[in-house]
Amino acid sequence: MNTTFQPRLSQLLLLGFALGVTPAVAQQTTNGAAQPANYNKTNIAPGEFQAYNTFDHRYEGLVGTPYLSKGWSMAKVTLADKRELAGAPARYDVYRRVLVVQPYANKKDSVWLDANRMKEFSLLPVLPGQAERRFLPFAEAPDAEKRTAFVEVLYQGASGYALLKLPRKLMVKANYQGGYAADRRFDELVDRTEYYLRRPDGSVVEVKLNQKSIAGAAPALAALGQTKRTVKTEQDAVELLRAADPAK
């Protein structure tokens, strides 16, 4: 006679509750072997140990900055109602499309100004020899989504042509979960700069920093394509437009 003690399921549950744990209810598989109730046969290979209720702590936070540049610069701001604010520390948050201004001497409070509240702003030079950087709301952007951003005016010609720089910050999300993940354990703000040529009629067209692209966007400036020039930088593009502008 087999006198081995065989506890009932109800007794096991009561014991588990008394110890502060919740036992997994066993269920019968097709081959007769018992498996825990939270067994997931899509995750567990035969003979492989599976841990339950685990957490993935590999996320490493945010890489990059939402700001146009490090630190603060003195700014001149023209508000929408034409009032002016000058000499306050400021920094442009490219990702949120706001100018963060510290208008008070204690530097504990800041004000966020967006394209609806400003006509324009300029960031003053930080080091000797640097130029003032002027920014305008990109109200004429071909893409409606970009009309709340600000563009930097790299060149403004007397004939109405202007070279505009649109700084952008794109969020690339972390991707480390799943079998085909890239094992990127952080979110990242990535720079994506775009350039536009504004024409005398107010229209704008996106351009690349090369002579062919800029000349194609301004067919009225015939001189743009007459002399072969090497254009690789923003300053090269500015010099190209300045040399071709008939009203300079």
Asked if 150 contacts 92 with a C-beta cutoff of 8 angstroms, the reply is yes
Instruction: Decide which of 74, 92, 125 is a domain's last residue.
Output: 125
**Of 12 and 215, more confident:** 215
Q: Hey, which residues does 27 pair with through a beta bridge?
A: 35
d(CA 50, CA 47): 9
pLDDT digits (tens, 9 = 90+) for 31-50: 554 544 444 444 444 444 34
Q: How many folded domains does the chain comprise?
A: 2
β-bridge pairing 187-191 and 62-63: parallel
Question: Which domain, by its residues, includes 169?
Answer: 138-248
Q: Which residue shows structure tokens 């030079």?
A: 125
Kindly report the number of other CB atoms within 10 A of residue 57's CB atom: 7
Q: Which residue shows structure tokens 């563009």?
A: 151
pLDDT digits (tens, 9 = 90+) for 211-226: 999 999 998 887 787 7
| 233 in the same domain as 146 | yes
The set of residues, in sequence order, having a beta carbon less than 8 Å from that of 190 and lying 6+ positions away, is 64, 169, 170, 171, 172
pLDDT for residue 9? 42
Please state the pTM of the whole predicted model.
0.69
Q: What is the mean pLDDT of residues 132-154?
A: 96
Residue 224 in 3-state DSSP? helix
- Position 193 in a domain: yes
Q: What is the mean pLDDT of residues 17-25?
A: 44
| 142 in the same domain as 247 | yes
| 213 in the same domain as 114 | no
For residue 203, give the nearest of 227, 226, 220 by alpha carbon.
220
What CATH code is carried by the domain that includes residue 114? 2.30.30
Q: Is the pLDDT of residue 135 over 70?
A: yes
